[in-house]
Structure formats: C-alpha cells, structure tokens
Amino acid sequence: MNNSQTPLAGRVPAQTDELLVVENLGKSYGDHQVLGDISVTVRSGEFMCIVGPSGAGKTTLLQCLSGLINPTSGTVSLRGKVVTEPPAEMAIVFQDYSRSLMPWLSVLDNVMLPLRSATKDKAERKKKAMEALIEVGLKDHVEKYPWQLSGGMQQRVAIARALAYAPAIVLMDEPFASVDAQTRGDLEDLTLKLKNHLGITIVLVTHDIDEAVYLADRVLVLGNKPTQVVDLIETHLGTERDQISTKATREFAQLRTRVYQEIRHGDIPSSAGSVAAPAAS
Amino acid sequence: MSEMTPKSNTAVLAGARTKARKGGSAVAGRRRVGIGPKLIAIAGVLLLWQLLSVSPLVDSDSLPAPVTVFAALLGLWGTGAYWAALGTTLQVWAIGLALCAVIGVPAGLLIGVSMRATQSTRWVIDFFRTIPTIALLPLVLLLFGATSRMEITMIVLAAIWPLLIQSMYAAKQVEPLLKWVFRVFRISTMDRLRFLWAPSVTLLVSTGMRLAATMALLMTIAAEYIGGAPGLGLELSHMEQAFKRPEVFAYAITAGMIGLLINAALVLFQRRVLWWHPIIRGERSE
C-alpha cells in the first residue's frame, strides 16, 4: 500500500538495512477489528514516528510490534526473526512514567534491574546504568527515588533504562504526552540527540503532528477504524533540528499541513497531494 | 583529591536520601496527632469509668473502679500463673497466625492472579468467612479436646479469611504496566517475584495480617475461655467463677493491651518496609 507512495525507498534498502518488517499485520478482538492490514518496514538507524487520530489503535500496533500481544494476522519480524514475545534487542518507553517505574527502587536500581539477567557482574551493570543516566542528564539524581523527581526527569529515567538495555530498537508509546510543553520540547531534543549519538533505531507513537514531523526521518500516517496505513512520508529535515528554526521552515509547515490533512480525511487528499508531494520527494 | 571525590559524592547522595526520608517524617511530626491527645483520650475513658463505677447506676461489685482493677493487675503481675498464661496464649496465637499466613497468603495470591479462580471460589469463600467460627467450637472441641490443637484449628478457621481475601486483592493490584515492563525487559521469574510481586503485594498482605492478628487473638482467648484450653482466657474464666471481678477485668485489659501492641508493631513494620508507598507517604504527610 505504502510502496506505491515511495517505490524507490521501498526497493533500494530492501537487502541492506531492514530492521523491523511488518507484513499485513491485523488485530481483532472478536468481531472488533482494531488493526487493518498494516505493512511497513523500519530501517536500521531511522527515527520513525507513527501518527494517527486518537483511538486509531496506535498503542495496539506498538504492542504487536513489541510482541506483548500477538497479532490476529500477519507477522512482525526483527532482523528476519518473527516476533512472538518481546525480543532481547528491543526496549520500550511507555507514556505513563509514574506507573512504569518502580517506586520501591532508586533511580539507579530501576535502570539496573533489566540488566540482571544478561550482565551477571554487578559493577558492570552499575557502569552501564550510570552511562545511560549520564547520557540523559541524571548523573546527580541516581540515588533518589522516582517519586522524588519531576515528570520530565522520571521519563528520562525510563529512557535511560531503555538505553542501558542496549537495544537495537527503542519503541516509544506517546512518551511525552504527560509532561508540560517546555519539558516536552527538552525531551524531544534529548531523544534526537540520543538517536544521533548512539545510532539506535526509534519508533515513536504520538498523536501530536508537530512532534511527529519534528522528530521523524519518516512519518507513518495511520487512518482510523480499522487502523491502516494512509501514507509514509520522508521528512528530509536533516539530522540537526531546532525547536524554533526547524519548525519555522517552509518544509516543516508543508509536512505538517500534509499530515494534518491526511489525518483529517483518513486518506491522501487529491487536491493537497500535488502541493505536498514535492516537499516529500 | 581524586580519590576523595567518589567517596564524598556517595556520602552526599546518602545524605540526600536520609534527608528526603527525614523530610517526610518531619512533615508528619508537624501534622500527625502526637502522644498527648492519645493519653488525654485514655484518661477521659478512665475518668468516665471511675465515675460510672461510683455512680448509683451500677452495682459496685459488678463494675469495679479502675483503681481497683489496676491494683489487681499489679497483683497478678507478681504471680507465675499470669505470666505462664500470657506466654501460652501468645505462643498459641503466634502458631495459629503463622499457619494462617502459610496457607492463606499463597492461596490468596494464586486465586487472585486468575480471574477465573477468583470468580469460581467467590461463593465458597463468602460462605465460609460468614460462618460465625465460634459456632464451630463444640465440633472442634469434640475432635481435639481442650488442647492447643483445638485452639489453632479455631484460629485458622477464623483468621485465615481476611488474609486470604486481602492476598487475593493484593495479587490483582500489581500494576499491569509494570508487568509489561518486566516482560519487555525479559526479567527472570525469580527477579519478577522479588522486585515486582513482593513489593507490590506487601501493603495489602500486611493489612490482611493486621486484621488476621486481631481476629486470631480474639479467637485464642475465646477458645480458652469457652473451650477451656490453658491461657489467658481460661484464667479469666477461673477468676470469674471465683467472683474475683477486678482480676477478670485485669485479664481483659491484658488482652486489650496485647492487641494494641501487636497492631502497633505491625503498623511500624508497614511504615518501615513500605516507606516508599504512596499511601504510607500520604499518611506521613497528612
């Protein structure tokens, strides 16, 4: 479906850098079809944002991608292996940091816990966790408890926990939806920095169009009931992005308008398509 | 210098941690009702009792004055029978409660984990927990006689239900998102029990323990009093038959004080272990 939109992009990297391949993914609960027929390929090292109207089953899609729930039809494969349970090369950052961190463990212990099975040496675990915490700017807060930190800092802990796990791919489920606007901007820039710094692949689900365009190398636009792929857009905004100057560019505005229209109409608008298409290509 | 840095750094961090914890209790100290008002409440009750005992409303033989009762209590403290009875009661109580915990907590958690098991067992549990256990005493007495086995059986029959039910709820209260976090990071089953389940269920299980502890104590003394097994309840019964009213009250007060101490100890345990818990933190800051 999306291949017709980006025929070149679909063909060229096929052998080289396909990391996460989603093929004809569908999920139903009884008669209720949540996910339609979704096919998309996440390339190694890219930042993909999944955006769609609220109630579009974005979170269900993410759960299927991570193997937390099994799809009704189709497959998800990571590096060629079909995902049936959460793979070791994958980490998730959830929206609700207050519930996804353990209040009975310190920040450092929260980050170290997932490393217990793979890294037997405690000093080694601590080293990895500290590196991740330094990376997200929490060096001075490692002995505190999550509930002693602000929301933005708690989400940084969750990000550090994902990083310390050293995954090939990080899934983020509306990670910045529960923090204030200023913090959100900071966390977006932190995430971009980490992605460029560490070369990890990120798939981020959001309902915020600006956020999706600002962060993504490619934006996957989803339509509603059942959820399906409307469009897959290359942003071409470069690796260095800035909250003020990038969002002020003409390209950003065009992308934003295009995604907005696609979400509103649940389809690629024929009138807008001719305007928006050059911006994407 | 460079050697000093990490050391002093951890010291500062440790300091920050105790500070944060102390900060919590400092707030609590400001707002929580201190020992003073509690003592005033006790004094009020004693005064009321004294007034009632000297008033023409009650016969002074049936309700001795608090002063007389405390004199009797002091007298009992000098006897070996009192301490032996106290020891026996506490021992039986502890064994009974431990048995309740060993059976009730795992059973409750296992039932609570499964929605199907919860629904299937609902009628059975509601039926058994509503039976007034004391009504089963003649039956149990017939089986075991006036022994500690009889008492322990009675304790388990009475006190296991709050533990079982609280444990069932505890299993359901484990944060679903955290369960996902543990799955996503492929955390081992042992670590899952230790770092997710144990901390998550402690509040409700320990609340169940508080309920069960009180109920077990009541049942121990009732089984001694009615069933005739040795302990505080039997001593109380003997005193009653000897028309030693102040001593009867002294034993009753002893039971009340044990209950108070047990509950205080369990609350202290909860505060110590669950200091991170939002509910305990809220209790402290309000």
Tens of pLDDT, residues B214-267: 999 999 999 999 999 999 999 999 999 998 999 999 999 999 999 999 999 999
Mean pLDDT of B34-42: 88
The whole-angstrom distance between B127's CA and the closest CA on chain A is: 36
Digit-coded pLDDT (tens) for A175-203: 998 888 888 999 999 999 888 888 899 99
CATH 3.40.50.300 residue ranges of chain A are 40-89+170-281
- C-alpha B21/C-alpha B273 separation (Å) is 13
Digit-coded pLDDT (tens) for A38-76: 899 999 989 999 998 777 688 888 899 999 999 999 999
Residue B47, pLDDT above cutoff 50: yes
Residue A96, pLDDT above cutoff 80: yes
Asked if B278 and A117 come within 8 Å (Cβ–Cβ), the reply is no
- Least CB–CB distance from B13: residue in A91, A117, A143: A143
The whole-angstrom distance between B187's CA and the closest CA on chain A is: 6
- C-alpha A53/C-alpha A58 separation (Å) is 9
pLDDT value of residue B249: 93
Mean pLDDT of B74-99: 94
Residue A93 is classified by DSSP as: E
Structure tokens at B121: 């067992």
Mean pLDDT of A90-94: 94
Asked if A144 and B186 come within 8 Å (Cβ–Cβ), the reply is no
- C-alpha A257/C-alpha A255 separation (Å) is 5
Residue A13, pLDDT above cutoff 60: no
Residue A4, pLDDT above cutoff 50: no
Using an 8 Å CB-CB cutoff, list chain B residues near A78: none
- Least CB–CB distance from A114: residue in B178, B185, B199: B185
Which domains does chain B show, CATH number per domain? 73-285 (1.10.3720.10)
Asked if B177 and A143 come within 8 Å (Cβ–Cβ), the reply is no
- C-alpha B24/C-alpha B19 separation (Å) is 8
pLDDT value of residue A56: 67
Could you tell me which chain A residue has the CA closest to the CA of B10? A143
The whole-angstrom distance between A114's CA and the closest CA on chain B is: 5
Instruction: Tell which B residues from 251 to 280 touch A, by Cβ distance under 8 Å.
Output: 276-278
Residue A87, pLDDT above cutoff 50: yes
Using an 8 Å CB-CB cutoff, list chain B residues near A145: 20, 276
pLDDT value of residue A199: 86
Mean pLDDT of A141-162: 93
Asked if B20 and A144 come within 8 Å (Cβ–Cβ), the reply is yes
Could you tell me which chain B residue has the CA closest to the CA of A166? B185
Asked if A100 and B177 come within 8 Å (Cβ–Cβ), the reply is yes
* Chosen from A78, A89, A98, A113 to mutate, greatest number of chain B CBs within 10 A: A113
* Percent of chain A predicted with pLDDT > 90: 43
Residue A103, pLDDT above cutoff 50: yes
Give bridge partners of residue A231 from the DSSP assignment.
A221
- Least CB–CB distance from A116: residue in B13, B191, B196: B191
Asked if B178 and A85 come within 8 Å (Cβ–Cβ), the reply is no
Asked if B187 and A114 come within 8 Å (Cβ–Cβ), the reply is yes
- C-alpha A41/C-alpha A13 separation (Å) is 10
The whole-angstrom distance between A276's CA and the closest CA on chain B is: 38
- C-alpha B129/C-alpha B161 separation (Å) is 6
Asked if A117 and B187 come within 8 Å (Cβ–Cβ), the reply is yes
Using an 8 Å CB-CB cutoff, list chain B residues near A161: 185
Under the banding of pLDDT at 50, 70 and 90, the label for residue A279 is very low
The whole-angstrom distance between A113's CA and the closest CA on chain B is: 8
Name which of A13-17, A270-274, B70-74, B270-274 the model is least confident about: A270-274
Digit-coded pLDDT (tens) for A223-247: 877 787 888 888 888 778 888 888 8
pLDDT value of residue A277: 42
H helical segments located in chain B: 4-31, 35-54, 66-77, 80-113, 115-130, 137-144, 148-172, 176-184, 189-192, 198-227, 232-241, 245-273, 278-285
pLDDT value of residue B2: 37
pLDDT value of residue A48: 94
Residue B18, pLDDT above cutoff 80: no
* Chosen from A69, A104, A111, A113 to mutate, greatest number of chain B CBs within 10 A: A104
Is-contact B93 B254, C-beta < 8 A? no
Q: Measure the CA angle with vertex B49, ends B45 and B50; round to 5°.
A: 120
Asked if B186 and A114 come within 8 Å (Cβ–Cβ), the reply is yes
Using an 8 Å CB-CB cutoff, list chain A residues near B281: 147
- Using the Cβ of B180 and the Cβ atoms of chain A, whether some distance falls under 8 Å is answered with yes
Residue B86, pLDDT above cutoff 90: yes
Instruction: Domain A40-89+170-281: state its class.
Output: alpha beta
Residue A272, pLDDT above cutoff 60: no
Residue A259, pLDDT above cutoff 90: no
Is-contact A246 A255, C-beta < 8 A? no
Under the banding of pLDDT at 50, 70 and 90, the label for residue A262 is confident
- Least CB–CB distance from A99: residue in B10, B178, B281: B178
Instruction: Tell which B residues from 16 to 35 touch A, by Cβ distance under 8 Å.
Output: 16-17, 20
pLDDT value of residue B5: 36
Using an 8 Å CB-CB cutoff, list chain A residues near B175: 99
pLDDT value of residue B33: 74
pLDDT value of residue A273: 43
H helical segments located in chain A: 7-11, 58-66, 97-100, 107-112, 122-135, 151-164, 181-198, 209-215, 245-248, 250-265, 270-280
Average pLDDT, chain B: 86
Name residue, tokens 């980050």: A111
Under the banding of pLDDT at 50, 70 and 90, the label for residue B32 is low
Give B158 or B26, the one with higher predicted confidence: B158
Average pLDDT, chain A: 84
Could you tell me which chain B residue has the CA closest to the CA of A87? B184
A19 CB burial (10 A radius; 0-12, 13-18, 19+): buried
Q: Which ipTM score applies to this complex?
A: 0.85
Is-contact A15 A79, C-beta < 8 A? no
pLDDT value of residue B14: 37
Instruction: Tell which B residues from 215 to 234 touch A, by Cβ distance under 8 Å.
Output: none
- Least CB–CB distance from B181: residue in A85, A100, A106: A100
- C-alpha A276/C-alpha A259 separation (Å) is 9
Mean pLDDT of B107-121: 94
- Least CB–CB distance from A92: residue in B20, B184, B281: B184
Residue B27, pLDDT above cutoff 70: no
- Using the Cβ of B183 and the Cβ atoms of chain A, whether some distance falls under 8 Å is answered with yes
Using an 8 Å CB-CB cutoff, list chain B residues near A117: 186-188, 191
Asked if B278 and A103 come within 8 Å (Cβ–Cβ), the reply is yes
pLDDT value of residue B63: 84
Give A248 or A272, the one with higher predicted confidence: A248
Under the banding of pLDDT at 50, 70 and 90, the label for residue B34 is confident
